[in-house]
Amino acid sequence: MIKLKTPEEGAILSQWTADQKELLEKYLLSADKVGGFEEADTNQDAELVGDWLKLLMTDGLDFSFPGKILLSWEERGKDKGKNFFAELSESSFFRQKMTFHPGKRGNKIFVHSLKNGTKYFWRIGYTAKTGKIKYSPVSFFHTEEIFPRWIGIGGGSNIRDIGGKMTIYGKKIRQGLFYRGCALNKSITVPGESLDFLMENLHIKSDLDTRASDGESGKAFPGKKVRYFNIPLRAYGNIFTPEQSANYAKAFRVLTEKRNLPCYTHCLGGADRTGCFIFLVCALLGMEEKDLLFDYEATSVFSRFRGKRYRSTAYFQSFMQGLKDLAGENGGKMTVQALAENYFLKGGITEKEIKKLRKLFLED
Per-residue pLDDT, 33: 75
Q: Report which residue type is found at 198.
A: L
Per-residue pLDDT, 135: 94
CA 206 – CA 204 distance, rounded (Å) = 6
The sign one gets for the Cα dihedral 282, 260, 362, 355 is positive
In this prediction the pTM is 0.94
Per-position pLDDT tens, the chain of length 364: 899 999 999 999 999 999 999 889 888 887 887 778 777 666 655 555 556 666 666 667 899 999 999 999 998 776 566 789 999 999 999 999 999 998 666 789 999 999 999 999 999 999 888 889 999 999 999 999 999 999 999 999 999 999 999 999 999 999 999 999 999 999 998 999 999 999 999 999 999 999 998 889 999 999 999 999 999 999 999 999 999 999 999 999 999 999 999 999 999 999 999 999 999 999 999 999 999 999 999 998 899 887 778 888 889 999 999 999 999 999 999 999 999 999 999 999 999 999 999 999 999 8
Domains by residue range for the chain, with CATH: 2-15+66-143 (2.60.40.10), 49-62+147-361 (3.90.190.10)
DSSP secondary structure, 150-219, as one string: E---TT--S-EES---BBTTS-BBPSSSEEEE--SSTTS---HHHHHHHHHTS---EEEE-S-TTTT---
CA 272 – CA 266 distance, rounded (Å) = 10
Per-residue pLDDT, 271: 96
CA 114 – CA 1 distance, rounded (Å) = 27
Closest Cα partner for 334 from 298, 284, 296, 297?
A: 284
CA 305 – CA 214 distance, rounded (Å) = 23
Q: Which residues face 74 on adjacent strands?
A: 3
CA 275 – CA 293 distance, rounded (Å) = 10
